[in-house]
Chains A and B, each alone.
Chain A
Amino acid sequence: EDKVVQSPLSLVVHEGDTVTLNCSYEVTNFRSLLWYKQEKKAPTFLFMLTSSGIEKKSGRLSSILDKKELFSILNITATQTGDSAVYLCAANNNDMRFGAGTRLTVKP
């Protein structure tokens, strides 16, 4: 059965800390791994990863995929209160299987 597991389920840090969010997956016909940020409403796209070992960066956020060990990490450096959200990862085959999310709270 296809599954995506995220850890930790929740995380509380202070502004300026660095966090690492984990996503492991087991899906048939894997094509890509996506990260989304969800604040109050709809998820918004962060990264799509298709190749192992190639880091994608966007400002203070970065992500990498390991297709051999079947996991991805999302790093956020110098966290800010605006980073508080639920972070979702999803493994894409022909449809999309989401993890339960990691709820990040950044305190001032």
Chain B
Amino acid sequence: NAGVTQTPKFQVLKTGQSMTLQCAQDMNHNSMYWYRQDPGMGLRLIYYSASEGTTDKGEVPNGYNVSRLNKREFSLRLESAAPSQTSVYFCASSEHGGETQYFGPGTRLLVL
């Protein structure tokens, strides 16, 4: 039982490049989330998926897209990376919305 896994662990991009961050959970959770964490800002919600087939914007969705591929997987895509998107990205899941969230180990992204 791996919990929440994220790939890659670390990535360097040039401005304008695109990439997809992958997240998977094996806890049969319905809800999944993507956050970014910047120094002094806490965790900010980018997008979430309350259940398979649905996605909704969070606090800071601009510049990102998401796909809830199936119940297990929730990916985050940066179409044209910008230096302001340099951050640590966490994926999380919960059995249902409004319940305890379990976090993945994070992806550290550097955009030059």
Interface residues of A (CB under 8 A from B): 4, 6, 31-32, 34, 41-45, 48, 88, 90, 92-101
Contact = CB atoms under 8 A, between A and B. Distances in A.
B103 A94 contact: no
Contacts of B44: 98
B55 to A, nearest CB: 12
A30 B103 CA distance: 21
Given A31-B98, A32-B99, A95-B58, 6 more contacts: A34-B100, A95-B33, A95-B45, A96-B45, A98-B35, A98-B42
A52 B21 CA distance: 39
Contacts of A93: 98
A45 B56 contact: no
B101 A45 contact: yes
A92 B42 contact: no
Contacts of A90: 43
B42 A48 contact: no
Given A95-B48, A98-B43, A99-B42, A44 B101 contact: no
